[in-house]
Structure 1
Amino acid sequence: MAGVIPPIKPGTDPAGPDRSPYKVPMNNFVDRFCLSSERSVILKGLLDLRAGLHSIGVVQGFQWIDGSFLEHIEDTDGRPPNDVDVVTFAFLPTGQTQASFLPFLQPYLDRTAVKATFKVDHFVKILPNIGVRDVCYWHSLWSHRRDGLWKGYAEIDLAPTDDADAAAILSAKTGAGFK
């Protein structure tokens, strides 16, 4: 009703496990949120960002996805989303240390460049070197809109398992055009 994903699945136990972040396969995420040409450009950027991470061996972990992209911002604010907000929680490739891997990861750490190239406001957190307070920060930040309204967000596995299907869905929807 408020244009957001509910923080707790409606009709379930409010103290139960059916709550944000909601685990969603990438192909389902693309299918659900590819609603306009503006959104398709953002989704293409997200898939390209993931492909870049995969190409350097970052394939284990997950991504929390949020921002106005997950809202009906077109209805509530009369505008399309500008980007998608993503925190990548990743394990480094086997045998790599954070120091040795930093040169490979650096292009994906520059928020300004990543946002300009991919339309993704991107943050990277290396697992397992993340503290409870850091997780609490992201969860509390993304569990509310700026006006204080509670909302939910998505979690997508970092593995490239569904990315080819997601790209095919995106291509089909983009090729069909939008109303």
Structure 2
Amino acid sequence: MPELADAFGTTPHRRRLLRNLISYRSLLAEGGYVGGVQFIDGSFVENIEMVAGRNPTDIDVFSILNVPSKYRDNPSLWPSTGLSFWQGEVIDRDRNKQRFDLDTYAVIFEDLHARPALLIRDIIYWYSLFSHQRGTFAWKGFVGLVLDPASDQAALSALGSA
């Protein structure tokens, strides 16, 4: 995360988006989602200011998350607390767009472990979407980040407040 902040936090607007990404990652940690990887994409990882003369509107985030240990240890908790947190906090795209300026998508890794074809399908889909520009279909890159609260705090300190 500090490297991402250093490379892409080049304007006040971009730094705000990065602070929002860290807030989302903190929300995940509060819900017990401390293991996983996220792929960062969209105009945020391009030089959209120079290419299109505008700021990036959001950050696209695709998360592959490990099931929180509390639900692995006691699966009966999932229907009462886990599912509502997952649906209302983790994958609610409209809510996450409004409060974080993030376009969020996520899958739970262990949930698909028994059916690896579904995980592979999702990875192939997101790779194909994230590896090309929307308008031109030109190849481009995306960024992979491991969930790491200590790294997030270091980046947050480097980004500073507003």
Q: TM-score, normalised by structure 1?
A: 0.78
- Give distance in 1, aligned partners of 2:49 and 2:79: 42
CA-CA distance at 1:122 after TM superposition: 0.5
RMSD: 1.5
- Give distance in 1, aligned partners of 2:119 and 2:144: 18
Count of residue correspondences: 148
- Give distance in 1, aligned partners of 2:104 and 2:121: 19
Percent of aligned positions that are identical: 36
- Give distance in 2, aligned partners of 1:119 and 1:50: 13
Match among 35, 42, 45 for residue 70 of structure 1: 45
- Give distance in 2, aligned partners of 1:107 and 1:133: 24
- Give distance in 2, aligned partners of 1:157 and 1:99: 27
Partner of 1:11: none
- Give distance in 2, aligned partners of 1:95 and 1:57: 8
Match among 123, 126, 135 for residue 135 of structure 1: 123
- Give distance in 2, aligned partners of 1:150 and 1:158: 26
AA partner of residue 65 (structure 2) = A
- SS in structure 2 of the partner of residue 59 of structure 1: coil
CA-CA distance at 1:134 after TM superposition: 1.1
Structure number with the higher helix fraction is: 2
AA partner of residue 50 (structure 1) = R
Partner of 1:115: 97
AA partner of residue 49 (structure 1) = Y
CA-CA distance at 1:104 after TM superposition: 2.1
Partner of 2:115: none
Q: TM-score, normalised by structure 2?
A: 0.86
Match among 104, 127, 138 for residue 85 of structure 2: 104
Gap regions ≥5 residues in structure 2: 113-117
Query: Where in structure 1 do 4 or more consecutive aligned residues deviate above 6 Å?
Result: none
Gap regions ≥5 residues in structure 1: 1-25
CA-CA distance at 1:37 after TM superposition: 1.2
CA-CA distance at 1:158 after TM superposition: 1.2
Deviations 1:62-117 (CA, angstroms, capped at 9, x unpaired):
00000000000000000010000001110111141454511222222211110110
Matched, 1:85 2:74: no
CA-CA distance at 1:56 after TM superposition: 1.2
CA-CA distance at 1:159 after TM superposition: 2.5
Partner of 1:157: 146
Matched, 1:47 2:22: yes
- Give distance in 1, aligned partners of 2:90 and 2:97: 10
- Give distance in 2, aligned partners of 1:62 and 1:40: 21
